[in-house]
Amino acid sequence: MSPFLNPSSSNSRSRAAGLRRGFGTVDTLLVVGGAALLAWGGLYLGKYSGRFDVNEFDEIPHGRAPKAVAVAADPNAALLKAGMVAYGKSCVACHQADGMGNPALNIPPLAGSDWVMESSPNRIIRIVLHGLNGPVKVKDTMYSGGQMNPWLKTPDNTAGLTPEEIAAALSYARNTWGNKAPMVTADQVTAILKETEKRVDPWTMDELMKVPMTSGVSASAAITPDQLKAALKALPAAELEAVLKEMKK
C-alpha cells in the first residue's frame, strides 16, 4: 500500500524516503498537470469561444430557424392563421367562407360590415361572447328573424371558443375579404368578459349601440409574442398543426 494512503504502515525510515519521493512526484504532477490543463483550456476555447464574436452567442441555433422563431417574426400573420382556423370551426357555417352570410336565412355578412370594422372591438366581442338577437342593420340592410348563439366556451358550451380563439376569429374577420381593422387581442376579450360576467341574454342591436366605443378596451393593440403564444397554445393539437402547415406555405 502506498505510504500516502496509509503512512502508519511504514516505518519511519522508509516513510522519510517515501515523503522525499513524494515531493518529487508532486513537482512532476504540477508540471504535467499544468501542461495538460493549458492544453485542455486551449482546446476548450478553440471549440467553444466562438472566435470571441458576440454574434456567436445568439440563442438561435445557426442554420436552422426553429418554428417558434418564425412565428414570433410576424405575430399578426400567425394570429390571422389561427383566426382562420377558429372561423372555420365556428363561424363559417353561417357567415360563409366569403364572409357574405346568408341573407335568405337572415344571416348578415361580415365582409364590409360596419360592425366588424368598428375601430373598437367593444361591440363585436360582446356579440361573440353572448350572442345577438332581434333585428340588426348591416350595410344599410335590416336583418331580422335571425339569432346568433353565444360562442364563449363554458362548461355548458364545450363546443365554444376560448378568449384566445375568439380574438383570433375576430382578428381574421376584421382583416379578410377586403376588411381592414385593428387586431383583437385575448386581453381585450377577457376584459369585456369581466365587464359582462353577469350577463345571460344575447345582446340586441339597441343595447349594443349604447356600448361606448371609447371605454372598455382600447381601439387598437398590437398583439405581443406572449399573447400569440397563448393563442396558439389554446388551439387543439390538430388545429395547431393545421396552422403551422398553413404558415409554411
Residues that bind ligand HEC (CB under 6 A): 90-91, 93-95, 106-110, 113, 115-116, 124, 127-128, 132-134, 136, 138, 143, 146-148, 151, 169-170, 173
Of 90 and 227, CB closest to ligand HEC: 90
The C-alpha angle 201, 202, 204, rounded to 5 degrees, equals 115
Which has the closest alpha carbon to 173: 66, 91, 107? 91
* CB nearer to ligand HEC: pick between 82 and 127: 127
Cβ 127 to ligand HEC shortest distance, Å: 5
- CB of 50 vs ligand HEC, minimal distance in Å: 49
Q: How far is the CB of 160 from ligand HEC (least distance, A)?
A: 9
Q: Which is nearer to ligand HEC, 46 or 176 (CB)?
A: 176
State in angstroms the smallest separation of the CB of 133 from ligand HEC. 5
For residues 84-99, b (16+ Cβ closer than 10 Å) or e, as one string? bbbbebbbeebbbeeb
Percent of the chain that is helix, strand, coil (3-state, to 5): 55, 5, 35
154: left (phi over 0), alpha (psi -120 to 50) or beta: beta
Note whether 48 and 40 are within 8 A (CB): no
Nearer to ligand HEC (CB atom), residue 56 or residue 206? 206
Rounded to 10 degrees, the C-alpha dihedral 126/130/136/139 comes to 40
Burial string for 172-207 (b: 16+ CB within 10 Å, else e) reads bbbbbbebebbbbbbbbbbbbbebbeeeeebbebeb
Which of 167/232 has CB closer to ligand HEC?
A: 167
Q: How far is the CB of 195 from ligand HEC (least distance, A)?
A: 18
How far is Cα 42 from Cα 147, in angstroms, rounded to an integer? 75
Using the minimum distance from each CB to ligand HEC, give the nearer residue, 20 or 139. 139
Taking the complex as a whole, how short is the minimal distance between the CB of residue 89 and ligand HEC, in angstroms? 8
